Amino acid sequence: MNIKGPGLSLYSEMQAMAQQARMPTHAMPLKSVETNEVQSINSSQTDFSSMLKGAIDNVNATQMYARSVAAAVENGEDGVTIAEAMIASSKASIAFEATMHVRNKVVEAYKEIMTMPV
């Protein structure tokens, strides 16, 4: 395969990652968990929850904007075109679908973890 132009660096990065994935991994020794490490784990959980809430709020804001632009077009307001309304609606739809896919993957992972033997 002969790749030229801007795709060359992406292709070379993909090849490097594929080569790295083919290398055998070595088990790392276990170490004891200290209290400050547990606190850092808990803070990352709050960071994840705030990140997740922010992402959902962003999807909600995208949907609200799409509704307001569609209402503006329906009311015949100046400065808002049908194309803008359609683009906003498409962005909101894509964001919602992506959110639903992520939710479905999380539910699948949860179910798989719950069925694992202890």
**What pLDDT score does 52 carry?**
85
**Residue 106 confidence (pLDDT) above 60:** yes
**pTM for the full model?**
0.57
**What pLDDT score does 90 carry?**
96
Q: What angle do CA 64, 66, 68 make, to 5 degrees?
A: 70
Compute the mean pLDDT over every residue in the chain, rounded to the nearest whole number. Answer: 79
Interacting residues of 6 by C-beta distance below 8 A, sequence separation 6+: none
The lowest-confidence range among 20-24, 56-60, 67-71 is: 20-24
Q: What angle do CA 107, 48, 105 make, to 5 degrees?
A: 20
pLDDT digits (tens, 9 = 90+) for 40-60: 555 666 687 888 888 999 999
Cα dihedral sign for 51, 57, 61, 63?
Answer: positive
